[in-house]
Structure 1
């Protein structure tokens, strides 16, 4: 018998609002969310705009400061219209965000408020920063697609050519990816993995989401590591390319696993050494930044023993071997060239960087499917990579393994799966499985739209997965001739994938903002 009295209730019709409400309930898998009783109504905590506003003000000021960098490049390169538009955006952000940042704090941030802030940080800026990009001859729709692709570190583009665009435009795209990578590495791990076991496995055990000062300390540490690794990447690429500006653009795009290149044919325009160096930097971007922090503090063994790092390298190597064999079999390439292209494609997909050294549309169907697998698994939590993330893949595999082992134990035996010496709790397992489901549903719905529009099924699947996993590899469908509604689908997929779906559901969920009487 249940511990509460059973009573018959009339079930209301499911509206769009209630569907969004239940969609937020699914990822959390909270028992209170499942039991629609009076005690849950008492415990509900709607998001408070007064608590969110000061943080949005501070982040808006940070965005204005970061936007000053491409404005300076526009000034140096003589792009006056772009400079003027950047200056107006900086001034507008200052006028709006400074007063917001000075508002008094209203208690500690709740989890739903942190997710709302994270979602707005990625959704709002592209609508502003698309305006300066229009100075390069783009209409607002094309500029918005580039801005969304940049801030989400995806790298898909509808432009027929970028090589003839002004230097300030090329730098602005790469800079958008760099600040997007910084945001996802500093903000998202604080809110999407709040459980204690998940935080220990991701290296966040000392960062409490309820307290502002540890979050600020965490962001400062991540920024220092991010800048240092970017500087190393720039020096390496400058050494192998001999062109400081090309090296800077590709370093910004690679360390953020963004994939925007200053060449129309991506890495195919660079030499073999530059290609491999760029992919090496992209792989570093897919490693959790806290791994570098632990290594810098002297814990080299702990850094190299990180389970996400080992799985990233192992999975990338396996995909590279598969791609190499398929390129030899289907494309007729010699083994040395096939191995180089296989490494570039595999680690570009696994790290979700999106650089390419070959025309993806010319690859065999089997190669595309292999790359789809690498793209959807992605990199590590706490890195700039997209995808489902390797920690969740490890949790999923360990859960399946435990389910099989559980069949050999007595029914009354107490046991839980373990990963990295940590006992996996129900919260982490349920969140990981729910995110797998949400990604699958999002892929299927977007894929259905493309297939219904008459596009080839496999190429459509490749494009949708590339957008949702924020990779940027394209089978050729993302181009200037892609219909507007399908560009919107890809843009939404990029935002959903960058925010891992949950933050968007929280932002749009009615129950985030007001309680509903039962």
Structure 2
């Protein structure tokens, strides 16, 4: 067995053992609540996962850890598959009436921070089970990559390659000397924002359990809730205002927060992708608010409030809902469908296409048009005051093409399985963009993915993984050259 393969197995074993340790939290919560079947499933899953993970890590451990670029791709994709399988165990065997397909779908949706759920009657579910869903999203939001970056340098394994593969940050400027320091700083910021969000939720009337669970899924832009009505169950206290603030905060690049706390507080307003993100958010909220008020769907106050919340939730891919916006009519549904392809900033916990890619693509189109009309003109491509190398443009355009191609193929597959056009198109967009709820009567904000056939759930589960791994990371694994020695 090569050193590189041993390194991959070692890291996967450590990550599996770490996730198993996290299962003890919901196990204790359910044990304290008297939900013995669920608590037992979490305890035994933790024991099995911890034993297997540590056994693999110890069996392949070597003094030299050589994580090549190819091995980094394998760890990036393999970690999500291994951890999803492990996370599904207590869901499958905890007495929650979930088949293996549903348990894996829910686990993948949690870890990828998609928020598409097959679980119904959340109000009556064991508290540990609900907290486990929130923990999965919190880990998936940024925890896995940060943990890897922090631990691997101590083990002799470089972590910066994985950060580039998964976060696809447009700005490669290192605000701290190495991956471990960046990971530690981002961890503290992520934790601090989560605690602040939980305090905010608690101040609006949520109990401690609901506040912590929703804070985790808000900062992860995941959208899992402890209630069937989602955040809509807490509107009276104004929890939706807290959610809007922290959904926006989670959609900003965490590297900018590092720059801000290191003495440049206005850095966030100078980042071009942040400027573009708020421009998109502002235009979308203004248009949606005007529409719902002008058509008489809501009075001005509730119209602005509902339009702002649900627009931010869709753009950031959080997936919370405070109303069934599918009932707003075809124009609103079409607008929300388009917004599913937006996303937040690179280096944030959001998914989908992300703002900077659209900005780079538009700059490339503008440059090409200028070149066509003025062949002798020299028009260097600059983004944020810096020149953009051609390989960056090729990477962005390649991603956009691959994203559209995967969306088209998955939408056709879902339609072939028997889903109606609205469900197939919005389901493909919502899962590939890791948004959460789709559109229509079945998977819309007032429905769940439970009624879908198993074949459709598997297609959407693959979409969630592909989308969370930035599409190209998965497609590279499918090329024969990748597996050649």
**TM tier, smaller:** 0.7 to 0.9
SS in 2 for 1:358: coil
Identify if the C-alpha distance between structure 1 residues 118 and 331 changes in structure 2 by more than 3 Å, giving closer, same or farther: farther
Taking the aligned partners of 1:396 and 1:83, their CA distance within structure 2 comes to 50
Identify if the C-alpha distance between structure 1 residues 455 and 101 changes in structure 2 by more than 3 Å, giving closer, same or farther: closer
Which residue is equivalent to 1:158?
Answer: 118
Which residue is equivalent to 2:32?
Answer: 76
Which residue is equivalent to 1:344?
Answer: 309
Taking the aligned partners of 1:500 and 1:351, their CA distance within structure 2 comes to 16
The equivalent position to 1:369 in structure 2, one of 330, 334, 353, is 334
Unaligned 5+ runs, structure 2: 150-158, 444-448
Structure 1 residue 339 displacement after superposition: 0.7
Identify if the C-alpha distance between structure 1 residues 494 and 194 changes in structure 2 by more than 3 Å, giving closer, same or farther: closer
Asked if 2 retains the 8 angstrom alpha-carbon contact of 1:116 and 1:503, the reply is no
Which residue is equivalent to 1:181?
Answer: 141
Taking the aligned partners of 1:264 and 1:390, their CA distance within structure 2 comes to 31
Taking the aligned partners of 1:404 and 1:90, their CA distance within structure 2 comes to 58
Matched, 1:480 2:450: yes
Taking the aligned partners of 2:438 and 2:3, their CA distance within structure 1 comes to 38
Structure 1 residue 95 displacement after superposition: 2.9
The equivalent position to 2:466 in structure 1, one of 478, 496, 500, is 496
Which residue is equivalent to 1:332?
Answer: 297
Structure 1 residue 168 displacement after superposition: 1.0
Which residue is equivalent to 2:403?
Answer: 439
Rg bigger for which structure?
Answer: 1
Structure 1 residue 101 displacement after superposition: 3.9
Matched, 1:298 2:298: no
Taking the aligned partners of 2:434 and 2:91, their CA distance within structure 1 comes to 21
Taking the aligned partners of 2:65 and 2:112, their CA distance within structure 1 comes to 30
Which residue is equivalent to 1:23?
Answer: none
Which residue is equivalent to 2:394?
Answer: 430
Asked if 2 retains the 8 angstrom alpha-carbon contact of 1:57 and 1:99, the reply is yes
Deviation larger for 320-329 or 490-499: 320-329
TM-score (norm 1): 0.82
Asked if 1 retains the 8 angstrom alpha-carbon contact of 2:116 and 2:431, the reply is yes
Taking the aligned partners of 1:193 and 1:177, their CA distance within structure 2 comes to 18
Considering Cα pairs closer than 8 Å and 6+ residues apart, tell me whether 1 or 2 has the greater RCO: 1
Which residue is equivalent to 1:280?
Answer: 245
The equivalent position to 1:90 in structure 2, one of 33, 46, 57, is 46
The equivalent position to 2:103 in structure 1, one of 134, 143, 158, is 143
Which residue is equivalent to 2:205?
Answer: 241
Matched, 1:129 2:87: yes
Taking the aligned partners of 1:396 and 1:47, their CA distance within structure 2 comes to 40
Identify if the C-alpha distance between structure 1 residues 253 and 93 changes in structure 2 by more than 3 Å, giving closer, same or farther: same
Unaligned 5+ runs, structure 1: 1-45, 209-213
Identify if the C-alpha distance between structure 1 residues 192 and 409 changes in structure 2 by more than 3 Å, giving closer, same or farther: farther
Asked if 2 retains the 8 angstrom alpha-carbon contact of 1:317 and 1:346, the reply is no
The equivalent position to 1:104 in structure 2, one of 52, 62, 87, is 62
Instruction: Write the mapping of 1:386-465 to structure 2, written as runs, cut at 5 A.
Output: 386-411=351-376, 415-465=379-429
Which residue is equivalent to 2:219?
Answer: 255
Asked if 2 retains the 8 angstrom alpha-carbon contact of 1:446 and 1:489, the reply is yes
Taking the aligned partners of 1:316 and 1:490, their CA distance within structure 2 comes to 27
TM-score (norm 2): 0.88
> Alignment RMSD, CA only?
2.6
Asked if 1 retains the 8 angstrom alpha-carbon contact of 2:343 and 2:355, the reply is yes
Asked if 1 retains the 8 angstrom alpha-carbon contact of 2:289 and 2:307, the reply is yes
Structure 1 residue 263 displacement after superposition: 1.6
Asked if 2 retains the 8 angstrom alpha-carbon contact of 1:388 and 1:436, the reply is yes
Which residue is equivalent to 1:205?
Answer: 174
Taking the aligned partners of 1:508 and 1:65, their CA distance within structure 2 comes to 32
Deviation larger for 339-348 or 63-72: 63-72
Taking the aligned partners of 1:490 and 1:331, their CA distance within structure 2 comes to 36
Taking the aligned partners of 2:295 and 2:456, their CA distance within structure 1 comes to 31
Taking the aligned partners of 1:418 and 1:298, their CA distance within structure 2 comes to 26
Deviation larger for 267-276 or 479-488: 267-276
SS in 2 for 1:259: coil
Which residue is equivalent to 1:117?
Answer: 75
Asked if 2 retains the 8 angstrom alpha-carbon contact of 1:155 and 1:354, the reply is yes
Taking the aligned partners of 1:78 and 1:343, their CA distance within structure 2 comes to 40
Instruction: Write the mapping of 1:39-50 to structure 2, written as runs, cut at 5 A.
Output: 48-50=4-6
Taking the aligned partners of 1:290 and 1:414, their CA distance within structure 2 comes to 33
- Superposed CA offset, 1:424-464 (max 9, x none): 11211111111101110111112112333444423432222
Identify if the C-alpha distance between structure 1 residues 182 and 76 changes in structure 2 by more than 3 Å, giving closer, same or farther: farther
Asked if 1 retains the 8 angstrom alpha-carbon contact of 2:247 and 2:318, the reply is yes
Matched, 1:323 2:283: no
Taking the aligned partners of 1:347 and 1:178, their CA distance within structure 2 comes to 19
Identify if the C-alpha distance between structure 1 residues 56 and 429 changes in structure 2 by more than 3 Å, giving closer, same or farther: same
